[in-house]
Amino acid sequence: MDTDSLKNSLLGLKSKLQNIEKDFGEKIEDVESKESKNKKIDKEIDNLVASKNDIVHLNIGGRIFQTKTETLLSVKESLFFKMVTERQQSNSKDEIFFDRSYIHFPIILNYLRTKKFSLKGMSKYDVEDVLCEAEFYGLSEIVIEASEVMKEIEFVKFEWNGQYSTGGTNRLEDISDKNLNNGFCINSPGWITIELNFEHEVGSCDIGGYNGNLNLFAVSNGANAKLMTSTDKVNWVEVGKTPSNYGNSITTVKFTKNTLCKYFKVQHTSFLGIGYLKLNKA
């Protein structure tokens, strides 16, 4: 090999070594960077674990709530988790302020503590507020439950003019039983007003008479009774009547029009028996 060829070969080898050295250096920097990031994350996790019993002050629309860091970190996808994590990174001990209503915040905070909550007995408007707050704070379980609750029609309480003799069980939960052997036996002139959980738009009902004690109460009691809806229990809209043969089986009554309903009334000029009742959304 002549001198020029040898020189060119050595120059080529030098260039390859320089490229290898450069790649190696970049990989070392990348590894060091990842190690640094991992150490930072590990430190943040250690800080969070160490501070899990620290008391955090939450200012919710001007009302102060106190809880532990551990509680606020209990739902990872929530806004609380994000804000507390950022707070730990900056070593801040300041209170956390949310420009939100504090009225239903106890439900939110209790869920973070126990993973339990209840919306029973709440008005439609209160549940809507809870849903709105849960969406803001990123609490998907409450969002799903509140959304489902608002879809369902539930009977929550009733008023009536009294029981006939010893007939019927006279409990709201029993008129969801399709065997018609339980339910209401109501004195003459019979009426019952049932309050719903929320204001729903309804278009029909499934209704059947009381069949529990034929020696005491005739299944025909309640035929041609008025069916009425109201949003305030003052102004009523007649939407239909029970069919003449409704006492023997469950019948669907399509209302004359779809109406908003918070209160549902069945009213008769004589005795009234109800073994089954279900309101259907429009």
Domain that holds residue 143: 55-151
Domain shared by 147 and 161, yes or no: no
Using CA atoms, how far apart are residues 277 and 259, in angstroms rounded to an integer?
Answer: 17
Residue 228 lies in a domain: yes
Write the CATH number for 183: 2.60.120.260
pLDDT tens-place values along the chain, 282 residues long = 556 665 566 556 667 766 766 676 666 666 666 666 666 655 655 565 556 788 999 999 999 999 999 999 999 999 999 998 888 777 778 889 999 999 999 999 999 999 999 987 787 789 999 999 999 999 999 999 998 888 889 999 999 999 999 999 999 999 999 999 999 999 999 999 999 988 899 999 999 999 999 899 999 999 999 999 999 999 999 999 999 888 889 999 999 999 999 999 999 999 999 999 999 999
Residue 123 covered by a domain: yes
Count how many domains the chain has. 2
Provide the percentage of residues in the chain whose pLDDT is more than 70: 82
Q: Check whether residue 277 and residue 190 sit in a common domain.
A: yes
Let me know whether 133 and 171 are in one domain.
Answer: no
Q: Could you tell me if 163 and 211 lie in one domain?
A: yes
Q: What is the CATH number of the domain that holds 91?
A: 3.30.710.10
In this prediction the pTM is: 0.60
